[in-house]
Amino acid sequence: MADLRPIIEKIGERRALGRHTEKSPQSAPPAKPGLGTSISRYPTASIICVVTIVGALAIAALIPFVAAIALTPPGTGGSAAAIQPTGPVTVAPAVRAGAAPGSAPGAVAPSAAMMDARSQPTGTLSGIIRFEGTAPVAGVLGTPTTGPPVIDESLLVDPQTKGIANVVVYLARPPAGAAIPPAPELPAAFGMSGATYVPHIVVARTGEEIVATNRDPVLRGVHSWPLRNDAINAVVPPAFAASWKFAKPETRPVKITSDCDPWMSGWVVVLDHPWVAVSDRRGAFTIPGLPSGAHEFTIWHEWSGGIYLARKLIVEIDIGKTTELEFSIPASRFGR
């Protein structure tokens, strides 16, 4: 037995050494887990991390759209999607844009025919257009946050004279062989004030600059709806103006709206001659400087998107004389 004791002691030492070797990985510091280890051990935390990253990217992508919406006038229900102008239009700071010295904001520059009417061998057409029936009361289209209620100007009738405002009387085409005066040097201008286009109807010649100036403290817009010309659409900041031209005459007035304000509406009459007039609040109109002879006139009103009160009205114009006309339009023509 004395000879086996060393062997038994060595076997015991080896077993003890084996037990220490098996336990050593547990006593060593744990290795840092990788991404795969983290996902397997903590699936909920990894999902939260991914969702956070995706949400941050989505918010960054939405910032331009949120900024565009923030530019929309409050309380208008409009959209500022058309921040970048479309069509042949320019938006720039207004420096009395379109205003002649001493003229009222939005005033239309006088045509060459008006200025030279007294010195030319021409005649004049003058008249009044009345509403036949009980004068309607203009309604309210909406109330912006920056001003008083916006009045519906689609049918304005003077309660005293029964005259209809904003009726357009114009030659369907210039007389054959007539000398057409040049277009005015000053632009045809109107303003955006109180969420309204002022004046409601603007007269412009083909190739003449048209200027729309924003005099309100919030964004306004100009969006044209021509039949023959290129449309324009622009958002106009405060104290800025949009300017453009129409190259071709239009057979009927061009509607102007605003993508920022659903109730804003106006019109631009685009012709290649100066023989046109818009009736005032009393329903009266005057077209000076007309060549002598029989001419074909068109009478138009904006009601219900535009109606012709007369399409081919033949009127004889005499040199040096004023031809007087008076029309009574039944209420039924306006759905009354």
| Domain identity same for 262 and 120 | yes
Between 17-31, 118-132, 274-288, the lowest mean confidence (pLDDT) is in 17-31
User: Is 22 contained in some domain?
Assistant: no
Domain around 61: 34-70
User: Is 2 contained in some domain?
Assistant: no
Confidence band, pLDDT 50/70/90 cuts, at residue 147: confident
For 94-134, the pLDDT digits (tens) are 865 334 333 333 334 444 444 544 456 899 999 999 999 99
| Domain identity same for 275 and 231 | yes
| Domain identity same for 65 and 109 | no
User: Is 15 contained in some domain?
Assistant: no
| Domain identity same for 227 and 263 | yes
For 228-280, the pLDDT digits (tens) are 999 999 999 999 999 999 999 999 999 999 999 989 999 999 999 999 999 99
User: Is 75 contained in some domain?
Assistant: no
Q: How many domains does the chain have?
A: 2
User: Is 7 contained in some domain?
Assistant: no
Mean pLDDT of the chain: 78
pTM over 0.75: no
One-letter-per-residue 3-state SS of the chain = CCCCHHHHHHHHHHHHHHHHHHHHHHHCCCCCCCHHHHHHHCHHHHHHHHHHHHHHHHHHHHHHHHHHHHCCCCCCCCCCCCCCCECCEEEEECCCCCCCCCCCCCCCCCCHHHHCCCCCCCEEEEEEEEEECCCCCCCEEECCCCCCCEECCCCCECCCCCEECCCEEEECCCCCCCCCCCCCCCCEEEEEECCEEECCEEEEECCCEEEEEECCCCCEEEEEECCCCCCCEEEECCCEEEEEECCCCCCCCEEEECCCCCCCEEEEEEECCCCEEECCCCCEEEEEEECCEEEEEEEEECHHHCEEEEEEEEEEECCCCEEEEEEEEEHHHHCC
| Domain identity same for 44 and 148 | no
Confidence band, pLDDT 50/70/90 cuts, at residue 57: low
User: Is 208 contained in some domain?
Assistant: yes
- Percent of the chain whose pLDDT exceeds 90: 57
| Domain identity same for 132 and 96 | yes
Which range has highest mean pLDDT (53-57, 81-85, 183-187)? 183-187
Between 6-10, 277-281, 288-292, the lowest mean confidence (pLDDT) is in 6-10
- Percent of the chain whose pLDDT exceeds 70: 68
User: Is 5 contained in some domain?
Assistant: no
| Domain identity same for 206 and 247 | yes
Would you state the pLDDT for residue 98? 39
User: Is 176 contained in some domain?
Assistant: yes
Q: Is the pLDDT of residue 152 over 70?
A: yes
| Domain identity same for 66 and 190 | no
CATH number at residue 103: 2.60.40.420
Q: Is the pLDDT of residue 7 over 80?
A: no
| Domain identity same for 50 and 104 | no
| Domain identity same for 263 and 320 | yes
Would you state the pLDDT for residue 177? 86
| Domain identity same for 126 and 172 | yes
| Domain identity same for 149 and 266 | yes
